């Protein structure tokens, strides 16, 4: 499958590498590919510089947001949640139409420090905003409730015995995303319902951040015990 991953922070490269490792044809989209490839400083969360990461993943093309979205059968939004609508607009509505858009971003606003606020919250969500802005895309919210190392390698936390949520209006799209999640190693994929249920999945982030603070690590995940 041709998968376009938008975003070059800590999440995008992790997800791109994982899908590439599963045999998919992956490109990464970024606003300015030359600038991204020239980055030599450490990543946002202490990972390798993008240029260093790319040297070890040369099979993953680095192109503009629009080129990536045009190339992908599936488009993954791994951009900063507060800039996702802008990034997806740059990717182009025509390049998203009819495609599955997997939204794994969180609209966390750190402008007032820690803890960040969610915006939107409560009666709207980023997932819904994206679906409204790109009505011809099939938006599926997922994976946003865990850190990127757990997204792509769920088995290393509690033997993989935890839950990933999917929210979206299109049952077929959720089915395809569920298959991708299972290929990554996720065993408990829980369909919450339509895209409005993304509110719940996004609103777990304040708790996630406090658990991260209490445990001193992001290497955990929520399990719906039942």
Residues that bind a second copy (CB under 8 A): 115, 117-118, 121-123, 157-158, 161-162, 165, 190-193, 196-197, 199-201, 203-204, 206-211, 213-215, 217, 219-226
For residue 84, the minimal CB distance to a second copy (Å) is 19
Q: For residues 89 and 111, give the distance between their C-alpha atoms in angstroms, rounded to a whole number.
A: 23
For residue 121, the minimal CB distance to a second copy (Å) is 5
Strand ranges (E), 15-169: 25-30, 61-64, 74-77, 100-103, 108-109, 117-118, 138-142, 163-168
- Token pair 């992001």: residue: 218
For residue 176, the minimal CB distance to a second copy (Å) is 19
Name 157's Cβ contacts closer than 8 Å, sequence gap at least 6. 150, 219, 220, 221
For residue 113, the minimal CB distance to a second copy (Å) is 12
Query: Quick check: 177 and 184 in contact, CB under 8 A?
Result: no
For residue 36, the minimal CB distance to a second copy (Å) is 32
Q: Is 88 or 192 the residue whose CB approaches a second copy more closely?
A: 192
Q: Is 38 or 207 the residue whose CB approaches a second copy more closely?
A: 207
Q: Is 58 or 214 the residue whose CB approaches a second copy more closely?
A: 214
Q: How many other CB atoms are found less than 10 A from the CB of residue 149?
A: 14
Q: Is 93 or 204 the residue whose CB approaches a second copy more closely?
A: 204
**Three-class secondary structure of residue 123 per DSSP:** coil
Q: Is 133 or 212 the residue whose CB approaches a second copy more closely?
A: 212
């Amino acid at each position: 499958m041709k998968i376009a991953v938008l975003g070059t922070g800590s999440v995008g490269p992790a997800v791109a590498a994982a899908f590439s490792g599963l045999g998919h044809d992956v490109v990464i989209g970024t606003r300015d590919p030359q600038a991204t490839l020239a980055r030599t400083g450490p990543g946002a969360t202490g990972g390798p510089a993008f240029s260093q990461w790319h040297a070890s993943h040369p099979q993953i093309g680095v192109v503009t947001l629009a080129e990536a979205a045009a190339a992908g059968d599936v488009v993954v939004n791994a951009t900063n949640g507060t800039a996702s609508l802008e990034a997806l607009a740059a990717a182009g509505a025509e390049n998203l139409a009819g495609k599955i858009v997997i939204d794994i971003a969180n609209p966390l606003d750190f402008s007032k420090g820690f803890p960040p606020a969610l915006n939107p919250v409560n009666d709207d969500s980023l997932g819904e905003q994206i679906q409204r802005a790109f009505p011809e895309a099939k938006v599926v919210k997922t994976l946003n409730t865990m850190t990127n190392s757990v997204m792509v390698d769920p088995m290393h936390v509690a033997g993989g015995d935890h839950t990933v949520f999917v929210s979206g209006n299109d049952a077929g799209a959720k089915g395809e995303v569920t298959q991708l999640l299972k290929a990554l190693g996720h065993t408990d994929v829980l369909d919450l319902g339509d895209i409005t249920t993304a509110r719940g999945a996004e609103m777990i982030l304040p708790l996630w951040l406090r658990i991260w603070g209490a445990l001193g690590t992001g290497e955990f995940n929520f399990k719906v015990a039942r």
